[in-house]
A and B are shown apart, each in its own frame.
Chain A
Amino acid sequence: MGKILFAKQGGVHVLKFVGDVRVTFSPTLSDFLAGIGNSKDQKSIVIDLTETLNIDSTSLGLLVKISLRSQETLGVKPTIVSTNEDINRILHSMGFEKVFVILDRTITKCEDLSALPTQSVSESALREQVLQAHKTLMELNEKNRACFCDLVEALEKEQSEDSHNSTVRKAG
């Protein structure tokens, strides 16, 4: 059984799909989707599929919606980092290159960025986005997995913070 992990780093929100992810009956990903653009510090979204074994069609559909919402509210396409050949085949079959910046290998040196394919956004903006995504992922790796928490937990925490904030506002 798979799980979806969540971490934040310098305005980049990272979703990490681990294992065999099937969310057919789970609302967590749709909750995440609904929350995009609601927090001020959120700048971009990175989807890490490097440890994904399998991903169901419902999750894939929600990822497309996450991309659309990100483009609408944050003005950027999310980045997908995916190094598993099977997963990449599925991403390709779903036309994901149209709605994501897809990195099919992990890049460790900044010079490698020049070899990236260009997308509809300007090349420099794209390079900046990809660099940011990698920096984030690398930092998260260095700091170890403790940075990641279960997506459900993260959403619950955010919700309780929201209700706390609104109470404070009401009181003020």
Chain B
Amino acid sequence: MSVGSGAILVVSEANSTETAIVSSLENSGYLIDVVTAADRCLSIIKVKKPDLIIWSLLSRPDISVLGCIKSKYKNLPVILHADKDSMAQVVTLLNHDADDYFAGGESDSELLNQIVLRTLDNARKKEKMRILEQDQLAGLRVQQGLLPATPATLGGFEFAHFVRPSLIMSGDSVNYVQLGDGRVIFYLADVSGHGASGAIVSAIMSGLFQRLVRKFQHETTATSADMLDWINVELLPLNLEQHITMFLGILNGAQNALQYSNAAHFPAGIVSNDESTLFLELGGLPLGVCDTEYGYHDISIDKSFNLVVFSDGVLEIMSEESIKGKEMQLHLLVQSGNTDIDTLVDHLGLDEISEVPDDVALLTVVRKS
């Protein structure tokens, strides 16, 4: 005979079958309480806090009480005890208020035991899942707190971002900060893998970025490549399992200049003005893998300027067959004037799609002439 633990409330007007069931469950190690009037159920549940309810349909009780119980104690599992005459009721109740049913008699105590064990086990797993989910959501709140305000106007540019995690937490992150001299440093980073492990590393990245800003606050000659070099040197001793790809840029509104460096970020950032739409350069090894030196690129920008950077998760939700085709589609989107975050999210269907295989992040920078 199976050995169980937990408290069970049996709701039944006592009859011989029910008495046999109660004693067999007691023999299996459960603590049993019996309530003979359905309307007293709620007050007894409050006091006894059972782990499971066995609800007998044999004596035709008022089942509306069951609905009340379920709406108040969502996670309290209910097993119905039914006979041939109440099977139609079982089907309806299984849809909303009951978790399982038992249609046996006195001699089927082992079957009931199995059903009870399984139902309790499922309820415990659900509870564990709920706790884990709460934990992940707490992590998400921390992560969201590390992201900058969106939109935000810095140094004459409007920055905005959108991050859609594949699970609850995300390995994609974005940040932008204005320095004392008016320049704005910004990045979009993607930690390999996703979920909690990616989120931990992106939190490390966020801390590193704050230090980077302090370090380079007054070093006006430092390039975006110097900054990636510095981040890489800081990351290497951590011996992370993951690596980080990053697009890092420095915008200088007064000098109409953008300088950027790439650590294996893909797809390429896209810049546009009133006349043209261009991909920025690719290349560079990911951060946190090996000792390497990064390069940088300088471009001059017009009064009217748009920059859009996507993380590679976006490629996974696009329908074009080849990567080249997807890149061209992104280029076309930007070229057609879809340069603000809401329009892009809308066009890519990021708000509607129910599941994304990889984290997706978008960063937009706009300056209007």
**Which residues of A are in contact with B by a Cβ distance under 8 Å?**
24, 30, 56-58, 60-61, 64-65, 68, 85-86, 89-90, 92-95, 98-99
* Nearest A residue (CB) for B327: A89
Q: State how many angstroms separate the Cβ of B189 from the closest Cβ of chain A.
A: 12
- Selected from B192, B292, B323, B324, the residue in CB contact (under 8 A) with A58 is B192
Do A93 and B282 contact each other (CB < 8 Å), given the known contacts A61-B192, A68-B289, A68-B290? yes
Query: Contact between B193 and A95 (Cβ–Cβ < 8 Å)?
Result: no
Q: State how many angstroms separate the Cβ of A21 from the closest Cβ of chain B.
A: 13
Query: Contact between A64 and B289 (Cβ–Cβ < 8 Å)?
Result: yes
Query: Contact between A61 and B292 (Cβ–Cβ < 8 Å)?
Result: no
Residues 94-108 of B contacting A (Cβ, < 8 Å): none
Do A90 and B266 contact each other (CB < 8 Å), given the known contacts A57-B193, A61-B289, A64-B285? yes
Q: State how many angstroms separate the Cβ of A23 from the closest Cβ of chain B.
A: 10
If over half of B's interface residues share one DSSP class (helix, strand or loop), that class is named, otherwise mixed; here it is loop
Query: Contact between B264 and A93 (Cβ–Cβ < 8 Å)?
Result: yes
* Nearest B residue (CB) for A90: B266
Q: Does B178 contact A (CB under 8 A)?
A: no
**Contact residues in B for A57 (Cβ distance below 8 Å):** 190, 192-193, 243, 245, 312
Query: Contact between A58 and B266 (Cβ–Cβ < 8 Å)?
Result: no
- Selected from A58, A60, A90, A95, the residue in CB contact (under 8 A) with B284 is A95
Assembled-state Cα–Cα distance A64/B268 (Å):
21
**Contact residues in B for A58 (Cβ distance below 8 Å):** 192-193, 242
**Contact residues in A for B284 (Cβ distance below 8 Å):** 95
Assembled-state Cα–Cα distance A94/B286 (Å):
7
- Selected from A60, A65, A95, the residue in CB contact (under 8 A) with B283 is A95
- Selected from B268, B285, B312, B322, the residue in CB contact (under 8 A) with A95 is B285
Interface string of B242-264 (1 = CB under 8 A from A): 11010000000000000000001
Assembled-state Cα–Cα distance A30/B193 (Å):
14
* Nearest B residue (CB) for A93: B266
**Contact residues in A for B268 (Cβ distance below 8 Å):** 93
**Contact residues in A for B323 (Cβ distance below 8 Å):** 85-86, 89-90
Interface string of B220-247 (1 = CB under 8 A from A): 0000000000000000000001110100
**Contact residues in B for A94 (Cβ distance below 8 Å):** 245, 264, 266, 285-286
**Contact residues in A for B322 (Cβ distance below 8 Å):** 85-86
**Contact residues in B for A92 (Cβ distance below 8 Å):** 282-283
Query: Contact between B283 and A64 (Cβ–Cβ < 8 Å)?
Result: no
Interface string of B288-316 (1 = CB under 8 A from A): 01101000000000000000000010000
Residue contacts A-B, CB under 8 angstroms, 28 given: A24-B193, A30-B241, A57-B192, A57-B193, A57-B243, A57-B245, A57-B312, A58-B193, A58-B242, A60-B286, A61-B192, A61-B242, A64-B243, A64-B290, A85-B322, A86-B324, A90-B323, A93-B266, A93-B283, A94-B245, A94-B266, A94-B285, A94-B286, A95-B284, A95-B286, A95-B292, A98-B285, A99-B290
**Contact residues in B for A86 (Cβ distance below 8 Å):** 322-324
* Nearest A residue (CB) for B289: A64
Given pairs A57-B312, A61-B243, 10 additional interface contacts (CB within 8 A) = A61-B242, A61-B286, A64-B290, A85-B322, A90-B266, A93-B265, A93-B282, A94-B286, A98-B285, A99-B290
* Nearest A residue (CB) for B316: A54
Q: Which of A65, A90, A92, A94 has the largest count of B CB atoms less than 10 A from its CB?
A: A94
Residues 192-209 of B contacting A (Cβ, < 8 Å): 192-194
Q: State how many angstroms separate the Cβ of A110 from the closest Cβ of chain B.
A: 31
User: 10 closest A-B pairs (Cβ-Cβ)?
Assistant: A93-B266, A57-B192, A86-B323, A61-B243, A95-B285, A93-B282, A94-B264, A58-B192, A95-B284, A64-B289
Assembled-state Cα–Cα distance A92/B284 (Å):
9
* Nearest A residue (CB) for B283: A95
Q: Which of B265, B290, B324 has the largest count of A CB atoms less than 10 A from its CB?
A: B290
Query: Contact between A98 and B324 (Cβ–Cβ < 8 Å)?
Result: no
Assembled-state Cα–Cα distance A92/B266 (Å):
10
Interface string of B263-287 (1 = CB under 8 A from A): 0111110000000000000111110
Query: Contact between A99 and B285 (Cβ–Cβ < 8 Å)?
Result: yes
**Contact residues in B for A68 (Cβ distance below 8 Å):** 289-290
Residues 128-163 of B contacting A (Cβ, < 8 Å): none
Q: State how many angstroms separate the Cβ of A92 from the closest Cβ of chain B.
A: 6
Assembled-state Cα–Cα distance A61/B285 (Å):
10
Q: State how many angstroms separate the Cβ of A149 from the closest Cβ of chain B.
A: 26
Assembled-state Cα–Cα distance A92/B279 (Å):
15
**Contact residues in B for A64 (Cβ distance below 8 Å):** 243, 285-286, 289-290
